[in-house]
Chain A
Amino acid sequence: MELIEKLKTEIISALNLEDIKPEDIDPAAPLFGSGLNLDSVDALELIVILEKNYGIKLVNAEEGKQIFYSLNSMAEYIKKHSSHA
């Protein structure tokens, strides 16, 4: 499965976004503030996805803002840094 599509289902399941279908998520749209309108507490679950599914450990909050800007930026970061993407 393409990474973006895989991330969509992982995010939907981690955040229990029952009303949202993978095709509803625009990979270029912001995840926070608009688009999916996630908040910082949701980000904690995205961090678990990075760590558990891709072996990436994130500690720097500033870095997080760029990585989690959109699905595209998340996927790009994973491709660059993951040991098992």
Chain B
Amino acid sequence: MPALLTASCERPVRFSETDPLGIVWHGNYIKYFEDSREVFGEKYGLEYLTMYENGFSAPLVDMRCSWRSPLHYRDIFISEITFVPCEAAKIIFTYRVMNKALGTLCASGESTQVFMNKNGELLFTIPDFFQEWKKKNQV
């Protein structure tokens, strides 16, 4: 079985990302997910702009997030992303945000993206460039 495709990034929590209680505001985890999604794109050649050059966009249509334990200002967190293979014309990722020092899981989630052509129409089948990408990466 081929290995799962994963990527991760890490950095400290910024002051502007915390709420009046001193913990990371819940909505920011969605941005942390996106941080790792961008790193994944660079690592495996699946970037937004590359997709756009191919004539497609991949809008998010579903996002789920579970919050497990808080992050505080200056905590270093790791944002990790895993590609979930599927047969439909979708891109599915799962995410984990962890506190690096404590090793605790802070949030986990899952997102679904679909493909749209330049006219904004939903693609029913997997576009060729993504089919090739899947083949190359054995997913």
Which A residues are within 8 Å of any B CB, using their own CB? 40-41, 43-45, 47-48, 51-52, 57-59, 61, 64
Contact = CB atoms under 8 A, between A and B. Distances in A.
Interface residues of B, number: 12
A48 B126 CA distance: 10
The 10 closest A-B pairs by CB, nearest first: A44-B88, A48-B87, A48-B88, A44-B89, A41-B61, A47-B124, A40-B122, A45-B88, A59-B125, A61-B124
A36 B121 CA distance: 23
B114 A41 contact: yes
Nearest to A40: B122
Interface of B: 61-62, 87-90, 112, 114, 121-122, 124-125
6 contacts: A41-B61, A41-B114, A44-B88, A47-B124, A59-B124, A61-B124
A17 B122 CA distance: 23
B68 to A, nearest CB: 23
Query: Which of A41, A44, A51 has the largest count of B CB atoms less than 10 A from its CB?
Result: A44
Given A43-B124, A51-B87, 10 more contacts: A44-B89, A44-B114, A47-B88, A47-B125, A48-B87, A48-B88, A52-B87, A57-B125, A59-B124, A61-B121
